[in-house]
Amino acid sequence: MGKESGIRLIANNKKAYHDYFIEDTYEAGIELAGTEVKSMRMGKCSIKESFIQIDRGEVFVYGMHISPYEKGNIFNKDPLRTRKLLLHQYEIRKIAGKIAEKGYTLVPLKVYFKGSLVKVEIGIAKGKKLYDKRQDIAKKDQKREAEREFKVKNL
């Protein structure tokens, strides 16, 4: 009868890991309308182009796309509307202090169901330079080559 347990991923922001060094992560709730939750249960959510800002002590996510619920009617909301994230006040102050430093920003990393609640994992991130991205790509290529050689040897 209690809340169902388990985490079910809805959306993942792989581009954030490519473009930023993620230094710290927080789990935040998100304020949604009923039809938006139903749409998320069907996996209709994208956070590729979204970003997070703190405005007057509250945290908001911009550009998060939740497709309108097909069976919804006049209660459907704008797919790109600004949504409020739910965090404790001390967490907001801590995050605000960190992103006040030069080069830091807030990015959404994942959207998932935790039980029956929709959660957003946000990360304090520092932008990567072009040479950092090249190093990551080179490491991935080396790892792929090593796995390919290992597979050939074990046949």
Tens of pLDDT, residue by residue over 29-53, are: 888 877 777 778 887 787 888 888 8
Q: Which of 24-33, 56-65, 78-87 has the lowest mean pLDDT?
A: 78-87
Q: Is residue 145 part of a domain?
A: no
Q: Enumerate long-range contacts of 5-8, CB under 8 Å, 24 or more apart.
A: 5/115, 6/115, 7/112, 7/113, 7/114, 8/112, 8/113
Q: Is residue 149 part of a domain?
A: no
- Report pLDDT for 73: 67
User: Residue 88: which domain range?
Assistant: 6-127
Cα–Cα distance, 88 to 70 (Å, whole number): 34
What is the tally of structural domains in the chain? 1
pTM above 0.95, yes or no: no
Q: Are strands 58-62 and 51-55 parallel, antiparallel or unpaired?
A: antiparallel
Question: How many other CB atoms are found less than 10 A from the CB of residue 1?
Answer: 2
- CATH number of the structural domain spanning residue 71: 2.40.280.10
Residue 57, both tokens? 């002590």
Going from the C-alpha of 119 to that of each of 74, 93, 136, the distances in angstroms are: 25, 20, 29
